[in-house]
Amino acid sequence: MRHWKLTSLLLALLTATPAMAIGTHAEGWMVVKKLTKLESQGIIFDSYEGEFIATTYKSDEDCSEDDYECYTPVDKTVKFSIRPENKEVIEFLQNNKDSSFLIQYRIHRIENLGLKEDFEILKAVAPGGDQASPAPSMTVDKTGSRQFTFRGKFLQLDDQGTIVKTYEGLYMDEKTGKVHPFSVTNDGMAKHIYDVMKTGKTVYIGVSDAIVTGFRKSDYDIYSVNENEPGDIQ
């Protein structure tokens, strides 16, 4: 009886407050191809708004998943805000307008009165060995029955901020030039990928292809990252 009451209470809370289910925000790291706009706005205090170009894909593209033909990378424009007190990020962007760089961001799902845009840049860095020192390799449990490995780069990964913790991202295959969404269900692997992104390195990526995604958005789950050689796919 007690367990039934606890379950009923949890369901009632989730129904009454949808934000608890979807999360108040998502947070992660993303590769920026180019900054296209940055301007100061505000009367009482300066706020900074802008736009940048990043890589995405069209989910309705006519391509064969089985033959690994998906997806062709396309550009997307992202509008963002920066808090006026975040002077380090503002200065970095002003000095790197024509360069590719890496940002840490937060996407607010509940309106934030201090920001014009839902997308907030928290930090910006030039990828390199001085930004992080990840281990040469990392492997976690596989979640699917089929595995494959390739050499590529991580372009984006964020914590969805939901009750059921999942990370969603985008990678680019070095050989095919294609991009594909992926999921991470292991906190340690997610942190490792963040560190690899900070270095800007191309690595061998092991993917476990699951038939059932569960709470994930993608059926591709990263189980191995290796700088020097393909991971175990047995």
Residue 218 φ/ψ, nearest 5 degrees: -120, 150
pLDDT at position 11 over 70: no
What's the length of the chain? 234
Residues 71 and 96 grouped into a single domain: yes
Q: What is the pLDDT of residue 230?
A: 86
Specify the CATH number for the domain of residue 105.
2.40.50.140
Place of tokens 């009482």: 44
- What span, in angstroms and rounded, lies between the C-alpha atoms of 103 and 124? 4
Judgement on whether residues 90 and 146 belong to the same structural domain of the protein: no
Q: What is the rounded average pLDDT of the residues 1-20?
A: 41
Mean pLDDT of 215-227: 86
Most confident of 5-19, 32-46, 54-68, 74-88: 74-88
Contacts 24+ apart (CB under 8 A), 103-107: 103/29, 103/30, 103/32, 104/27, 104/28, 104/29, 105/27, 105/28, 105/29, 105/30, 105/80, 105/158, 106/25, 106/26, 106/27, 107/25, 107/26, 107/27, 107/158
The domain boundary residue, chosen from 64, 94, 125: 125
**Cα–Cα–Cα angle for 117, 118, 119, rounded to 5 degrees:** 90
Could you identify the residue written with the tokens 């860095």? 125
Mention every residue, 6+ apart, whose C-beta is less than 8 A from residue 19.
109, 110
Q: Identify the pLDDT of residue 17.
A: 40
Q: Is residue 231 part of a domain?
A: no
- pLDDT of 5 > 50? The answer is no
Q: DSSP for 42-94, please give it.
A: -SSS-EEEEEEEEEE--TT----TTTT-----EEEEEEEEE-TT-HHHHHHHH
For residues 184 and 109, which has the higher predicted lDDT (pLDDT)? 184
Domain for residue 8, yes or no? no
pLDDT score, position 31: 99
Domain match, 34 and 100 both: yes
* Same domain as 160, residue 222: yes
How many CB atoms are located within 10 Å of the residue 116 CB? 15
Final residue in a domain of this structure, among 93, 125, 157: 125
Task: Return the HEC string of 198-230.
Answer: HHCCCEEEEEEECCCCCCCCCCEEEEEEECCCC
Do residues 108 and 24 touch, judged by C-beta distance below 8 A? Answer: yes
> Are residues 98 and 152 located together in one domain of the fold?
no
What is the percent of the chain where pLDDT is above 90? 65
Amino acid letter for position 205: I
Contact (CB, 8 A) for 152 and 55: no
Residue 28 lies in a domain: yes
pLDDT tens digits along 132-180:
999 999 999 988 778 999 999 999 999 986 666 789 999 999 999 999 9
Per the structure block, which two tokens stand in for 8? 């009923």
Are 144 and 197 in a shared domain?
yes
Structural domain count of the chain: 2
- Asked whether residue 195 carries a pLDDT value surpassing 70, the answer given is yes
End-to-end CA distance of the chain: 46
User: Do 81 and 117 belong to one domain?
Assistant: yes
Domain boundary among 75, 99, 125: 125
Q: Does 68 share its domain with 141?
A: no
Are 111 and 196 part of one and the same domain? no
Owning domain of residue 62: 23-125
Residues 150 and 115 in one domain: no
Is the pLDDT at 18 greater than 60? The verdict is no
In a shared domain, residues 46 and 121: yes
Tell me the whole-structure pTM to 2 decimals.
0.85
User: Which of 15-29, 37-51, 155-169 is predicted least confidently?
Assistant: 15-29
Average pLDDT over residues 34-41: 92
* Banded model confidence at residue 48, pLDDT cuts 50, 70, 90: very high
Mean pLDDT of 198-227: 86
> Which amino acid is it at 196?
V
Whether residue 81 is found in the same domain as residue 155: no
pLDDT band (50, 70, 90) for residue 72: very high
Higher pLDDT, 209 or 232: 209
